[in-house]
């Protein structure tokens, strides 16, 4: 175990029903099995991260299998790098985390999100992992302790990523390309804002490099109004677009393009 105290950064050891550091900061394990390593002074709000409704929408949509090809490719790539210890950083409710765990049965796995609602659900998917409520800007794992970090549709603190990775390890990042959900965006907005899906490469810190990149694209038919509503709820479009446009999207079956980019960014 390479957990560190989020308050003093001392090593955490297992005690009773939780963990403690040499300075006797203690963190109990929740009934569901996760550790809450987000001290109150590190919270920006009472309940940071996605709320229960957003988490449930994402769980229903992903469990419907709509993004199964994305999870399958993520797991294949992770298995090819064969890490001894890995962390899913910003893991949400654990759909992709479970696929990673299945692909890496011999590795020590950690999953982290700031949303307690998300982590509560994640624990049920893969109880063998170490599930953590914690901040992505202050990850409670020791320096150079991971060979693989997974970041799936998640913001990222690049300096934290670099700190956590062992030399030769890497960040497996999965994010949208400019064509992702284009039809949905065209239905929701008068003008679809273009964005540079390589912009994150400018943020790669010194001492890390892009070693592999690929894109996975497929068409997704959404016949169920619940699936369309859930897709809206789990993206920023669920609150950016007008209520009228959202209602129109939910009312009609549609096909959308899924276009996702995978990057492997190595620590030198």
Q: Is the pLDDT of residue 238 over 60?
A: yes
- Per the annotation, where are the binding residues for S-adenosyl-L-methionine? 67, 93-94, 180
Among 2, 154, 176, which Cα is nearest to 88's? 154
Distance CA 209, CA 249 (A): 40
- Cβ burial of 45 (10 Å; 0-12, 13-18, 19+) is exposed
The 10s digit of each residue's pLDDT in 46-104 is 555 567 788 889 999 999 999 999 999 999 999 999 999 999 999 999 999 999 999 99
In degrees and rounded to multiples of 5, residue 41 shows phi and psi of -75, -10
Q: Residue 235: pLDDT band by 50, 70, 90 thresholds?
A: confident
**Mean per-residue pLDDT, 232-250:** 89
Report pLDDT for 236.
Answer: 82
Q: Residue 32: pLDDT band by 50, 70, 90 thresholds?
A: very high
Report pLDDT for 43.
Answer: 52
Q: Residue 239: pLDDT band by 50, 70, 90 thresholds?
A: confident
Task: Indicate the CATH number for domain 13-267.
Answer: 3.40.50.150
Contact 58, 82 (CB under 8 A): no
Q: Are strands 35-36 and 26-28 parallel, antiparallel or unpaired?
A: unpaired
In the block, tokens 């490469």 appear at 201
What sign does the CA torsion over 95, 100, 102, 103 have?
Answer: positive
- Per the annotation, where are the binding residues for Zn(2+)? 5, 8, 21, 25
- Per the annotation, where are the binding residues? 5, 8, 21, 25, 67, 93-94, 180
Name the token pair of 240: 């950016």
Q: Residue 245: pLDDT band by 50, 70, 90 thresholds?
A: very high
Q: Is the pLDDT of residue 234 over 70?
A: yes
Q: Domain extents for the chain?
A: 13-267
Find how far residue 60's CA is from the centre of its chain: 16
The 10s digit of each residue's pLDDT in 158-191 is 999 999 999 999 999 999 999 999 999 999 999 9
């Amino acid at each position: 175990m390479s957990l560190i105290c989020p308050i003093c950064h001392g090593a955490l050891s297992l005690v009773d029903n939780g963990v403690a550091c040499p300075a006797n900061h203690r963190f109990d394990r929740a009934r569901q099995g996760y550790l809450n390593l987000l001290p109150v002074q590190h919270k920006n709000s009472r309940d940071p991260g996605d709320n229960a409704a957003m988490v449930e929408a994402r769980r229903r949509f992903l469990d419907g299998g709509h993004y199964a090809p994305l999870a399958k490719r993520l797991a294949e790539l992770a298995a090819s790098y064969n890490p001894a210890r890995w962390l899913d950083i910003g893991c949400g409710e654990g759909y992709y985390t479970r696929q990673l765990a299945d692909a890496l049965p011999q590795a020590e796995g950690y999953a982290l999100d700031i949303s307690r609602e998300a982590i509560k659900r994640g624990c049920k998917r893969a109880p063998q992992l170490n599930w953590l409520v914690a901040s992505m800007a202050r990850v409670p794992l020791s320096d150079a302790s991971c060979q693989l970090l997974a970041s799936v549709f998640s913001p990222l603190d690049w300096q934290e990523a670099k700190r956590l990775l062992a030399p030769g390890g890497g960040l497996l990042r999965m994010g949208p390309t400019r064509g992702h959900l284009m039809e949905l965006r065209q239905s929701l907005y008068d003008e679809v804002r273009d964005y540079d899906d390589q912009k994150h490469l400018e943020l790669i810190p010194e001492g890390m490099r892009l070693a592999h990149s690929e894109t996975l694209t497929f068409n997704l038919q959404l016949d169920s109004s619940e699936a369309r509503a859930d897709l809206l709820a789990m993206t920023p479009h669920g609150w950016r677009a007008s209520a009228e446009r959202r209602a129109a999207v939910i009312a009609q079956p549609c096909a959308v393009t899924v276009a996702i980019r995978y990057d492997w960014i190595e620590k030198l």
